[in-house]
Amino acid sequence: MNDTGNSTNKHLDEITLLLYVERQLDRASAQEVSLHTQTCERCLTLLRALDRESRLLTRSMLEQDEPLPARLAEFHAQARKSMQWIWGLVFGMALLGIYSLYTVYIEPWEQQFEQAGFGGTNLLSLLVFQGAFWKGWQSMFTLVEFVALTSFAAFAFFLVRKYLKRGTALAVMFASMSLLMMTAASTPAQSVKIDTDMKGQKLEVKKDEVLRKDLYFAGSQLRIDGTVDGDVYAFAQEVDVSGHVTGDVICFARSARITGQVDGNVRSFTNNVTISGTVAKSVTTMNEDTRLDSAGKVGHNFSAFSQIVTVDGKVGRDVLVMFNEATISGTIEGNMKAKGESLTIASGAQIGGEAKFEGEKPADVSSGATLASPLQFTKIEHKSRTERGVGHYIWRVVWAGAWILLGLVLISLMPGFARETVESAERYGASFGLGVLVFFGVAIASLIACITIVGLLVGISTFFLWLVALFSSYVVVGAVVGCWILGKSTDFWPAVGRMALGVIIVVVATGLPHVGGWIMFGVWLWGMGAISLALYRRLQPMIAPNIPSMPAGPISTPLPPNTTVSPA
C-alpha cells in the first residue's frame, strides 16, 4: 500500500482504494485503509466516488436496454433455415455435377462409342437407363425427367413441410420413397417376371431346353447349352454360352466364354472373355484378357478395354481397343482405332477401313497383313511431372479461382456453417478420422447402392454429395490455412481473404512434384471430414423452438451494489 504526499497530507493511492472497494485487500491492509479514511476527507471522498463508480458500472451493464434479438430468439429456426440453404446449394451443385460429369466424361465417351459404331446408343443410356441393365426405364425416365421429378417432389415437400409434424413428415418421405422405388422396380420388371430368376451355385440350360424369358443368374457357374429367348444377366464365376441367346448377354464374371450364338450384344466385365462363337451385334468388354478366336464372329462393333486383346476372328464393323498388348490377326471390315503400349498386326490380318494406333512405339505390322490404308501411328508423349506445360498451370489458376468463388458463395450464403466447418477442421483427429470413413465408406456405399436397381436414387444422390464434399474440401482446408497465417476473423471479407489465401497455398502445395498427390489426398480427407463433422453437429438436436423474444433470465432484475464500502 502506498501513501502519497508528505506526512501531514498523506493520501492513499487510487489502486489501494479500488482494491479496498473491490474487497481484494488482506485484512491488515483493509484495516489501514479503514482507519485512514476516518481521518482523511479526500481519501474518503475518493473511496466513495470509486464505490459509486462501481455501482454505476454494474447498473449500466445489467440494465436490459434491448430485448433478445429475434435472430437469437429463433436460433433453432435460423439453424434450420441455413440447413435449407445447404440442401438447396447441394442440390444445385449436384445438378451442376451431373452436367459437368456428362460434358467432361460421358459426352466424349459417347462420341467415341458412336464413332466406333454404337449408333444411337449412348453410354449413359447404355449403362444407366437402357434396357441392357434396366430394361424399360428408358421409356419411363430420361435423366432430365428423373431429376425434374425429384426436384418437384422436394419442392412440394418443402412447401407443405410446415403443415407436417416430424413423424408425419418422415412417414410421408419414406412412403414416397417406397412408392417411387416400387414403381421403378415393378414397372420395368413386369415383362421380366422373376420366375426364371435362378439363384444357386450352378445353373445349366440343357441342350434341348428353351427358356422363353430373360435369365437372371447369380452363382458360381452358368452354362447355356440350350436356347434362351431373351437376355441373360449373369453374376458368376464362370459363364459359358455354347447354345443360343436371342437377346443380350451381360456378364460380371471371372471367366466368360461364348462359343454359341448371341443374337444381341455381349457386354462383359470379367477377368477374361473368349469369343469363339457368333455375336450378331456388338461386343463391349472390360477385362484383363479379351480374345476373339479365329472362329469367333462379331456382326457389328468390337470394343475392348483390356490388358491383353487378341482379335483373331472376324469383326463386321469397327474395332476400338485400349490395351497393354494387342494382337490383330483376324479380319476387321470397318475402321480400327487402337491405343496402348504394344500392337502387333500379324500376317493374315485384314483391315477394311482406316487403322489408327496411338502408342509409345510403332506397331509391329507384318508384311502378310492386308490394310486398306497405311496404319496411322501417333506417339504418346509422356511428360514427366516436372515438365508441365503452360496449360497445366493455367488450369491450376482456373481451379484456384473456381475454389475461391465457391468459398465466397459458401461463406456468403452460410456464414455460420462455414465457420463451424472451419472449427471442425481444427479438430484434426476427428476430421481426419471421419474423412477416411466418408472418403472410402460413402464412395463404396454409393457404388453398392448404384448397382442395385432400388438404390439408384440413393446411390447417385450420395455419390454427388460425396463429390460436392470432395470439391469443397479445398475451400475448407484453404480457410483453415488462411486462419493459421492471418488469424481468425468472423467478418465476411477478412474471412474470404483468408480462405482465398489458403486456397492458393493449398493449390500450390498440391501441385508440388512427388508430394503433391499425397497432400491432395490429405486435403480431401481433412476437408471431407470437417464438412461431415460440421453437418453431423448441425443435425444434432440443439435448441427447442418457441423461445420467447424477451425472456426473463436469472439476471433480469437490477443489481444492488455488493461492493458496499464502510468508510467507518
Partner 1 sequence: MEPLRPGHTSVPGKTEPLDLIAQARAGDTQAWGDLYREFAPAIFRFCRRALPSKEDAEDATMEIFMKLRDKLAQYDTSRSFSAWLYKVAANHCWDILRRRKARHEKDMDDVDDIPLEAPEPNQLERLIEERTSEEVRKALDKLGARARMALVMRYYSDMSYDEIADALGVRRPFVGVVLLRARHELRQALGENTALAMGGTR
Element (H, E) at 88: helix 75-101
151 binds partner 1 per the rule CB under 8 A: no
485 binds partner 1 per the rule CB under 8 A: no
Given the complex with partner 1, which of 73 and 180 has the nearer CB atom? 73
Contacts by 510-516, CB closer than 8 A, 24 or more apart: 511/396, 513/385, 513/386, 514/385
CA–CA distance from 101 to each of 97, 123, 465, 521 (Å)?
6, 12, 14, 21
CB of 439 to partner 1, least distance (A): 24
Name residue, grid cell 445353373: 203
69 binds partner 1 per the rule CB under 8 A: yes
53 binds partner 1 per the rule CB under 8 A: yes
Considering only 103-111, 187-195, 440-448, 552-560, which stretch makes contact with partner 1 by CB under 8 A?
A: 552-560
542 binds partner 1 per the rule CB under 8 A: yes
Q: Residues 42-63, buried b or exposed e (16+ Cβ, 10 A)?
A: ebbebbeebbeebbeebeeeee
Closest CA to 376 of 352, 393, 355, 398: 355
Closest CA to 359 of 376, 342, 382: 342
CB atoms within 10 A of CB 390: 7
Considering only 279-287, 318-326, 331-339, 413-421, which stretch makes contact with partner 1 by CB under 8 A?
A: 413-421
Contact 34, 17 (CB under 8 A): no
553 binds partner 1 per the rule CB under 8 A: yes
11 binds partner 1 per the rule CB under 8 A: yes
Residue of 26, 66, 208, 381 that binds partner 1 (CB under 8 A): 66
Binding mask of the shown chain, residues 76 to 95, with x at each position contacting partner 1 by CB under 8 A: x-x-----------------
Residue of 28, 382, 554, 566 that binds partner 1 (CB under 8 A): 554
543 binds partner 1 per the rule CB under 8 A: yes
Measured distance CA(472)–CA(482) in Å, rounded: 15
CB of 548 to partner 1, least distance (A): 7
Considering only 49-57, 95-103, 175-183, 232-240, which stretch makes contact with partner 1 by CB under 8 A?
A: 49-57
CB of 501 to partner 1, least distance (A): 14
Considering only 71-79, 198-206, 271-279, 471-479, which stretch makes contact with partner 1 by CB under 8 A?
A: 71-79
419 binds partner 1 per the rule CB under 8 A: yes
Given the complex with partner 1, which of 310 and 421 has the nearer CB atom? 421
Considering only 58-66, 104-112, 191-199, 328-336, which stretch makes contact with partner 1 by CB under 8 A?
A: 58-66
Contact 327, 313 (CB under 8 A): no
Considering only 254-262, 319-327, 339-347, 537-545, which stretch makes contact with partner 1 by CB under 8 A?
A: 537-545
68 binds partner 1 per the rule CB under 8 A: yes
Q: What residues contact residue 345 under an 8 Å CB cut-off, 6+ apart?
A: 328, 329, 351, 355, 363, 364, 365, 366, 369, 371, 375
166 binds partner 1 per the rule CB under 8 A: no
Alpha helices in 414-491 (DSSP H): 415-425, 428-436, 443-450, 456-486
489 binds partner 1 per the rule CB under 8 A: yes
Contact 241, 258 (CB under 8 A): yes
Q: Residues 437-452, buried b or exposed e (16+ Cβ, 10 A)?
A: ebbeebeebbeebbee
356 binds partner 1 per the rule CB under 8 A: no
CB of 534 to partner 1, least distance (A): 10
Contact 407, 419 (CB under 8 A): no
DSSP label of 355? E
Considering only 183-191, 216-224, 462-470, 543-551, which stretch makes contact with partner 1 by CB under 8 A?
A: 543-551
Q: For the purposes of burial, counting CB atoms within 10 Å of the CB of 169, is it exposed (0-12), middle (13-18) or buried (19 or more)?
A: middle
Considering only 63-71, 287-295, 340-348, 507-515, which stretch makes contact with partner 1 by CB under 8 A?
A: 63-71
Angle at 502 between CA 500 and CA 505, to 5 degrees: 110
CB atoms within 10 A of CB 182: 11
49 binds partner 1 per the rule CB under 8 A: yes
Residue of 7, 386, 546, 566 that binds partner 1 (CB under 8 A): 546
For the chain, how far is it from start to end, CA to CA, in angstroms?
A: 19
71 binds partner 1 per the rule CB under 8 A: yes
Element (H, E) at 528: helix 516-539
Task: Give the footprint of partner 1 on this chain (CB under 8 A).
Answer: 4, 11, 13-15, 18-19, 22, 24, 42-43, 45-46, 48-50, 52-54, 56-66, 68-69, 71-72, 75-76, 78, 416, 419-420, 486-490, 537, 540-548, 551-560, 562
